[in-house]
Structure 1
Amino acid sequence: MGMFSFKAVCATCSNEVPFINRVAIANKEIVCAKCMKLAGLKREDIISMTSAQVKSAIGRKSESKNEIANFNPTKKIGSYVEFDTDNEKWLVLSSFLGKRDKSTIYKFEDIIHFELLEDGESIASGGLGRALVGGALFGGVGAVVGGVTGNKTSKGVCTSLKVKVTVDDVHNPTVYINLLNTNTKKNGIVYQQHIKYAEECLSMFQLICDKQKKSAAVNQSGAPLSAADEIKKFKSLLDEGIISEEEFNEKKKQLLS
């Protein structure tokens, strides 16, 4: 039965679906609003999927609920994001009261790229195969030297501050950590505190990506990269203009010590 049939059956749960509670997906199939919610998908995401893909998404969402119940964070940044470093997993907390009941759990290895967006403009970024750009290289979690906004001419008010994370998920490749979404004065304590949260997020994600990259290098060669190899790698980033000379010297000093 088509989308405009008075009676239709959901391709995933086989229940009859009222006209106002149905979504047309690929292969002229119909999915009910309840199944779309169970899959954790938006209308624009689900319309190009098959019923098998929707069922798979529902299964992943159900597994995620079980994972959330057993999620034990070892690192928490404000009321925004949590990390389980023992099991190499992380999640974004709900923007309302910082709860994790509707969160999706991701593995460390899912992270591909991340960036800090202020009022829609990218001011710092990093990820697999690249160094953190937008602030000096850091010496530890939450220690981005100089701050991510140090070289940026800024307005007096920030209306939006978020971390965008690209993950290895073809259906939901983008994860946002929304830090600020109202007009906030940059010389105030609220903005300064959330910039610290942002720096800590970037540091944590970069450390995760660097660890994943080193693990891959060990798996491929059977031995970790030497300090000299690491310095050569960052020298190539300097030559390509991806990092500054100051960042290169800081990383070189860190490796040699």
Structure 2
Amino acid sequence: MAKKICLVCGKEIGALTGKYKCKDGYICKPCFKEKGYFQNVIKYRGFRSTDNLTLKEIEAVNADVEYNIDVVENFKATYVPDIQIQFDDNNSMLIMSPDQHVSYRPHHFVVLRYDQIVDYELLQNGSSIASGGLGRAAVGGMLFGGVGAIVGASTRKQHSVCSDLQIKFTVRNYGLPSVYLHLITTDTKTNSILYKNAMTTAQNVLSKLELITKNQQPEDTQEISITNSVADKLRELKSLLDEDIITREEFDQKKKQLLGL
């Protein structure tokens, strides 16, 4: 039987030492523990197994967690729409806890730089009700302004109970391409205070993200975006109309505004 050599310390792994298998070899348990791989990679990042990760990828995840903890511990927010998500405009980054029940521990937060955010989307019961991002205009409930409007647009075709409300972030991160901010995770009546508070948070977060992504666009991209934005908005409006999310009157009114009529 071939000897198993630890990729970290370079020593042979004994039968009683214990080991973790990774994509390009093995890591002995003492090194795995000493480097913090179990705590950071397995526990905090939720990888149940390292079988599909290379040592380089394990080290990258480990470094990412340690960096996040340091940022969160020293984070100074300039805007806090909710304790789950906080923005620091001075350093162009945000921290967020995907878990609705925040424990306030640094490793429970994800750190995102503003320039990592590509797209964002508000999902209710699995359906998209508002979205935006780089190179495209915000669409959905945000078009009609105010929290009341986004609630009306989202519930017109939805049931009276919301079981899931979340904001999806698409980001430039190989290891974590999508991040979710969970605002509602259990059955909640759409006429309740809890639901309306969650929608207020969603509206505030999406408005902030709209400003952030607009500021991230290069000048030439902004010009192209402005040129195409009217057509994009009209397409999205038509889609909302076809799905009975908005009324014909709302469609006609917004269409006239977009066309300057």
Q: When the two structures are superposed, what TM-score results if normalisation uses the length of structure 1?
A: 0.76
Q: How far apart are 1:249 and its partner, in Å?
A: 5.8
The reply on whether 1:242 has 2:236 as its aligned counterpart is yes
| Shift of residue 162, structure 1, vs aligned partner | 0.9
Corresponding residue number in structure 2 for 1:99: 104
**Closer, same or farther in 2 for the Cα pair 1:18/1:124, shift >3 Å?**
farther
Q: Percent identity?
A: 25
Q: Flag structure 1 segments of 5+ consecutive residues without an equivalent.
A: none
Q: CA deviation at 1:231?
A: 4.6
Query: Is the CA contact (8 Å cut-off) linking 1:12 and 1:35 kept in structure 2?
Result: no
Between stretches 162-171 and 56-65, larger displacement belongs to: 56-65
Query: Secondary structure in 1 aligned to 2:157?
Result: coil
Is 2:122 aligned against 1:122? no
Q: CA separation in 2, counterparts of 1:17 and 1:120?
A: 49
**Is 174-183 or 128-137 further displaced after alignment?**
128-137
State the partner residue of 2:25: 28
Offset from partner CA, 1:170-209 (integer Å, 9 cap, x none): 1111111111111111111111111111111111111111
Whether 1:196 and 2:191 are equivalent positions in the alignment is no
Give the SS at the match of 2:149: coil
CA distance in structure 1 between the partners assigned to 2:90 and 2:233 by the alignment: 33
Map 1:1-257 to 2 at 5 A: 11-12=7-8, 23-30=20-27, 32=32, 34-39=36-41, 40-43=44-47, 46-93=50-97, 95-97=100-102, 99=104, 101-102=106-107, 103-137=109-143, 143=146, 146-147=149-150, 149-150=152-153, 152-213=156-217, 216-217=218-219, 225=223, 231-238=226-233, 241-243=235-237
Distance 1:131 1:46, change over 3 A: farther
Pairwise CA distance, 1:86: 1.2
Following the alignment from structure 1 to structure 2, what is the Cα–Cα distance between the partners of residues 17 and 38? Answer: 25
- Counterpart Cα distance in 2 of 1:176 and 1:252: 35
Root-mean-square deviation (Å) = 3.4
Q: Which amino acid aligns with 2:96?
A: V
1:137 is paired with a residue whose SS is helix
Unaligned runs of 5+ in 2: 239-250
Query: Is 2:100–2:184's contact at 8 Å kept on the other side of the alignment?
Result: no
SS of the aligned residue for 2:143 comes to coil
**What is the alpha-carbon distance in structure 1 between the residues aligned to residue 229 and residue 72 of structure 2?**
38
Higher helix share: 2
Letter of the structure 2 residue corresponding to residue 202 of structure 1: L
Q: Is the 8 A contact 1:116 1:164 kept in 2?
A: yes
Measure, in 1, the Cα distance between the counterparts of 2:100 and 2:18. Answer: 27
- Is residue 130–residue 142 contact of structure 2 (8 Å, CA) maintained in 1? no
1:104 Cα deviation from its structure 2 partner: 2.4
Mapped to 2, the partners of 1:137 and 1:98 lie a distance apart of: 34
Q: Which residue of 1 aligns with 2:246?
A: none
Q: Deviations over 1:57-112 (max 9, x none)?
A: 22222222222222100111222200001111001135334625121211000001
Structure 1's 206 and 251: CA in aligned 2 closer, same or farther, altered over 3 A?
farther
